[in-house]
Amino acid sequence: MTPPTLIVDTNVLSYLMRGDKLAQLYAPHLQGKLLAITFITVGELYYGAEKRNWGQQKRKHLETTLRNFVVIPYDHETARCYGRLVAGCERRGRPISCADAWIAACAIRHAVPVVTHNVEDFGNIPDLNVITEYREK
């Protein structure tokens, strides 16, 4: 498998799926790249579909969208990265959500930048390359 060149965070993928104006900010970063999402993002998207009781057409759009990405699965090295990352965040007094920690661990494990609009959680993780268009107001 050719390694992906970027991991797309759940929020950026959601912007793309909805055609949100924020998607336009991230499009230049994604063009021409081999894009990946993590197993966690897949789960988060299915959760959102269930929570909002999506109909068949929206679910089909989700399935079609997911086929455009390499999905990074769980493996033992990713789990080790996750453990180190969560413990390190706690030691620094900056706890991280479980989902964001898994996404960051996948990015660190594969030495691939993560494209996110969520810099509050991802911005302070050593060894994580973050690409964002988030700007404080």
Residue 123: domain span: 6-127
What CATH number did the domain enclosing 67 receive?
Answer: 3.40.50.1010
**133 is a domain residue:** no
| DSSP H/E element including 81 | helix 76-91
Residue 125 contacts residue 22 (beta carbons within 8 Å): no
Taking the whole predicted model, whether its pTM rises above 0.85 is answered as: yes
Tell me the pLDDT tens digit for each residue of 7-62: 999 999 999 999 999 999 999 999 989 999 999 999 999 999 999 999 999 999 99
